[in-house]
Structure 1
Amino acid sequence: MSGHGFHVHGPHDHELEHAAQAAHGGHEAGGGMTSQIAMATAIIATVGALFSYMGGATQANAGLYKNNAAIKKTEAANQWSYFQSKSTKQSLAEFARDLAPDDKRVAYQARIDRYEKEKDEIKLSAEKLEAESHEWDKSSDEQMHQHHRWAQATTVLQVSIALAAIALLTRKKWLEYAMFALAGVGLMLGGLAALHI
């Protein structure tokens, strides 16, 4: 360039001017596309990070709930073992009652009645623990289903971001549309996860 208004361009100067215009959202078609995809990618990545966090949280909850179910199942099994020991003692007391002389039968019958009452209480406790175990299992399954929904949503959003990069490199408008369509599917899946569907 000279000071008198006469411009001499090097072979690459023209391309640099166009690149600068595109980077600043100039009139070239790619400039608007670049800004639009960059903004959408940032939003999609942020939403994807939130979905990923929720997926991890629900997976942790599912494991915790499954552990609680196993604990309650073990407690129920312990109660059923206790019930069985009372049944065995009751059977022995019944056998002893039947073989005992008349004056001792009343004492054995009292034991039999006590064992029967204790067994009823133990049975109620065991059934309650089994019901709690079942509820924890059900909650764990629900959390795992929700985790899968969050994971699906996150995966679709990640594919959408990959399409955004390809769209920027190739400047193909249909890839940009595909990116937005996949982002919509990812948001829909995230909505299903949030609604526990």
Structure 2
Amino acid sequence: MSGAGFHVHGPHDHELEHATQHAAHGEGAGGMINQIAMFTAVIATIGAIFAYMGGATQANAGLYKNNAAIKKTAASNQWNYFQSKSTKQSLAEVSRDLTPQQADKDKYQAKIDRYEKEKKEIETEARKLEAESDDWDKQSDAQMHVHHRWAQATTALQVAIALAAIALLTRKKWLEWGMFGMGAIGVAIGIAAALHI
């Protein structure tokens, strides 16, 4: 459009005006255009929610994997502590066996008994930390599975939106049906993700 009231139409302007006029009267391709536009808006909104959920589950998976690594490190530290107590116990046993005096033997035996008791406590803690690490790993794996479902659902919805654009441009009814089909598949996968299937 230029000044002085002179207006120039581009080829697409005439097509849009024509589609709008027919849509207002519920005629022909206008109904298809409105239907595709509404479908695209709804699917894009659902897709945005699915993408958010996919990102959230991926972040959770990373957090849980990090927790697993922290617990695994703590367990490793406990096993190292266990090993140091075992070494001290072995040295006390050698000292007990080599000393000729009964009083020294009793002193070393008391240390051996103490180390044995401490090792049992350390071993219990190490095994508990390993179990916690394994639990965090399983939770991380479960979150990654759900993340993949959200990603699959989002991808299917993006394909549905692309089919909607092609259907709009070509006005092919079979593409419109394909658009609805892919949208339904995407929503179904999203429901599976929400149900952790």
TM above 0.5: yes
Q: What is the SS of the residue equivalent to 2:80? A: helix
Aligned to 1:85: 84
Aligned to 1:140: 140
Q: CA shift at 1:20, angstroms? A: 3.7
Q: Which runs of 4+ in 1 moved over 2 A?
A: 14-20
Q: What is the SS of the residue equivalent to 2:196? A: coil
> Where does 1:38-117 land on structure 2 (aligned, <5 Å)?
38-100=37-99, 101-117=101-117
> Where does 1:23-42 land on structure 2 (aligned, <5 Å)?
23-24=23-24, 26-42=25-41
Counterpart-to-counterpart distance in 2, 1:17 and 1:73: 66
Q: Which amino acid aligns with 2:181?
A: A
Q: Which whole-Å deviations, capped at 9, do the CAs of 1:138-178 have from their partners, x for residues lacking one?
A: 00000011000000000000000000011011111110000
Counterpart-to-counterpart distance in 2, 1:119 and 1:181: 63
Q: Which amino acid aligns with 2:112?
A: I
Give the CA RMSD over aligned residues. 1.6
Counterpart-to-counterpart distance in 1, 2:20 and 2:42: 25
Q: Which amino acid aligns with 2:87?
A: T
Instruction: Name the TM-score, length of structure 2 as normaliser.
Output: 0.89
Q: CA shift at 1:31, angstroms? A: 1.0
Corresponding position: 1:182 with 2:189: no
Q: Which amino acid aligns with 1:97?
A: R
Counterpart-to-counterpart distance in 2, 1:131 and 1:117: 22
Counterpart-to-counterpart distance in 1, 2:16 and 2:72: 71
Q: Which amino acid aligns with 1:84?
A: Q
Gaps of 5+ in 2: 1-10
Counterpart-to-counterpart distance in 1, 2:20 and 2:151: 39
Aligned length: 184
Gaps of 5+ in 1: 1-11
Q: CA shift at 1:103, angstroms? A: 2.4
Percent sequence identity is 71
Counterpart-to-counterpart distance in 2, 1:133 and 1:15: 63
Q: Which amino acid aligns with 2:38?
A: M
Aligned to 1:166: 166
Q: CA shift at 1:128, angstroms? A: 0.4
Sort the Cα spacing of 1:172 and 1:69 in 2 relative to 1 into closer, same or farther, 3 A: same
Q: CA shift at 1:29, angstroms? A: 1.6
Instruction: Name the TM-score, length of structure 1 as normaliser.
Output: 0.89
Q: CA shift at 1:27, angstroms? A: 4.2
Sort the Cα spacing of 1:169 and 1:98 in 2 relative to 1 into closer, same or farther, 3 A: same
Counterpart-to-counterpart distance in 1, 2:60 and 2:72: 18
